[in-house]
Amino acid sequence: MADSDGRQVDSINHSTGKICKELTKEEKQRLRKEKKQHKKNKKDDRGPPEKEKEKEKASVLAPSKPATQSPAHKAAPVPVNASASESPVAAEKPAKSKAEQRAERRARQDTERASKQGKKEGGQQSASSKPKATPNELQPVVKRLPEHIQVDDPAALKKLAKKLERQQVRQINIVPLRSDYGYKVSLFSHLHQYSRKNPPTQQISIPATVIHPSIVRLGLQYSQGIIAGSNARSVALLHAFKQVIQDYSTPPNEELSRDLVNKLSPYISFLSQCRPLSASMGNAIKHIKKEISNIPSQCKEEEAKRRLQECIDSYINEKIILASEAISKYAIEKISDGDVILVYGCSSLVNHILCEAFEKQRKFRVIVVDSRPRLEGREALRRLVKKGIRCTYVLISALSYILPEVSKVFLGAHALLANGYVMSRVGTSQIALVAKAYNVPVLVCCETYKFCERVQTDSFVSNELDDPDDLIVTRNGKTHLENWQTVKSLGLLNLVYDVTPPDFVDLVITDLGMIPCTSVPVVLRVKNVDQ
């Protein structure tokens, strides 16, 4: 390498034209070595920062060598290796046109590199060596895509398999990878499609003591649809976590705040294999993890556990129970005597509002709209009829017939996205659309803990596919779709969620008040500042 360095030094003293020739020779020699290194490093490096880093490395390739001899010696070939394939092309261009800028950058990066000698791979170096924006600037946009919408990407699937492998204990894979079922419609090949007949616990080996039994039970309840509905799932999750924390004991030489978080990760992977996590569950998990990591290290174990349990209880109380009380209070102002209210499916919050309004002696009647294949509206119907509310029941295809009678529409939400779209049970957007056509006001009721920072414009990119066998029905003794698997060109699509554009929604009632759909990012910002 000293030889090449010498030659490099000579080459710099010549004119820029000659530098090109010298560089290309050098590059060819190094390319072979770099390529081998690059293949090793490729796996650990990220995409976009990789390329930016390569370009920068390439541009400072020549001057970096002579400037820092021994300490940077080791560091220099490494970033050079990492930027193998792009460096020849990238190097020539900056070498030709930016000689002056190179000198400046060289000085800057020398100092940076000198401080980073001990660090390992080029990837990490490059990430920090990028010229940093001012700390007050917004977070970088590039986030990692969630795994559950990358089913059609074999690289992502491999990553997930590796991640689940890493979570194994005693060489046993605790969280098995669940396989997809049936023919998936091509538009949705990036999503999982599981069958209820293949529960995720089939491949779990005994001893399954590595996953807490309450988590296993919870996962099965999710996958079979026994626990459904955003609030119910979150509350069940939090109760299961309480149980886990109760039974947890810190191993020696470990801190509770770090170890407990690590313990929870395989549980969360298992639950997401049973059924993709909802936005409310995601927020709850984030909150818990934050609380756990905030536990001071000198806290005794019993004290820490008690604190965590209290924290979970207060979360449930504040965010779910008290929130629904507050929302009911606001919503009841909107219900007047003689109203005909349309609800869709079974939303615990909307049912609560209607029951409260009925207790406060408001005179109204309810129309429950339901849809196949879940038929959740029947559950809502039972609850409302038990209270004594006058109800009518139709299927969603009869919507145009029933809407002229309706004065208001109350909808529940699964999540509220940052661009104002409402993610809710499939069919909600249809109801909002037809209500808009008939000029009926649409009110969405949603607690603030369901607000999430994702953005989405259509129902395809991030959704959930339910068991396609649910669509099969037997009428008059005939089941037309019985053997749909054998028919080559037939697919069944059972979507779970859809997104409603904000122009269909007139008002969102939250525990912070009544806001328009587009104010969701404001609420998120306020919440982040609070925390």
Would you tell me which residues interact with other proteins (CB under 8 A)? 185, 187, 371-373, 378, 381-382, 385, 390-402, 425-427, 429-430, 433-434, 437, 458-460, 471, 473, 475-476, 480-481, 487-495, 498-499
Nearer to other proteins, 341 or 492 (CB): 492
Helical pair 301-315 and 256-274, crossing angle rounded to 10 deg: 40
Minimal distance in Å, beta carbon 459 to other proteins?
4
Minimal distance in Å, beta carbon 495 to other proteins?
5
Nearer to other proteins, 312 or 369 (CB): 369
- Asked if 441 and 513 count as a contact pair (C-beta separation under 8 A), the reply is no
How far apart CA 301 and CA 307 sit, in angstroms, is 10
Query: Under the phi-then-psi rule, with left for phi > 0, alpha for psi from -120 to 50, and beta for the rest, what region is 333?
Result: alpha
In one-letter notation, the amino acid at residue 359 is: E
Nearer to other proteins, 257 or 351 (CB): 351
Minimal distance in Å, beta carbon 378 to other proteins?
7
Nearer to other proteins, 1 or 437 (CB): 437
270: nearest Cα among 155, 160, 145, 143 = 160
Nearer to other proteins, 127 or 461 (CB): 461
Minimal distance in Å, beta carbon 368 to other proteins?
8
**Token pair of 404, please?**
């002229």
DSSP state of 62: H
Nearer to other proteins, 73 or 436 (CB): 436
Minimal distance in Å, beta carbon 371 to other proteins?
4
- Please work out, in degrees rounded to the nearest 5, the angle formed at the alpha carbon of residue 239 by the alpha carbons of 234 and 245: 125
Minimal distance in Å, beta carbon 333 to other proteins?
28
* Cis check: omega of the bond before 207, within 30 degrees of 0: yes
Nearer to other proteins, 89 or 487 (CB): 487
- 5: which residues sit within 8 A by CB, 6+ positions away? 65, 66, 69
157: nearest Cα among 199, 191, 200, 204 = 191
Nearer to other proteins, 320 or 499 (CB): 499
- 285: which residues sit within 8 A by CB, 6+ positions away? 237, 264, 268, 277
- CA torsion angle for 218, 233, 369, 343 (degrees, to 10)? 160
Give the three-state DSSP class for 389: coil
CB burial string 429-458: b at 16+ within 10 A, e below: bbbbebbbeeebebbbbbbbbbbbebebee
Q: Could you tell me how far CA 194 lies from the centroid of its own chain? A: 19
485: nearest Cα among 472, 466, 474 = 472
How far apart CA 71 and CA 115 sit, in angstroms, is 10
Minimal distance in Å, beta carbon 225 to other proteins?
16
Minimal distance in Å, beta carbon 374 to other proteins?
9
Minimal distance in Å, beta carbon 47 to other proteins?
28
- Asked if 357 and 364 count as a contact pair (C-beta separation under 8 A), the reply is yes
Nearer to other proteins, 75 or 384 (CB): 384
342: nearest Cα among 381, 306, 316 = 381
Minimal distance in Å, beta carbon 501 to other proteins?
9
Nearer to other proteins, 107 or 187 (CB): 187
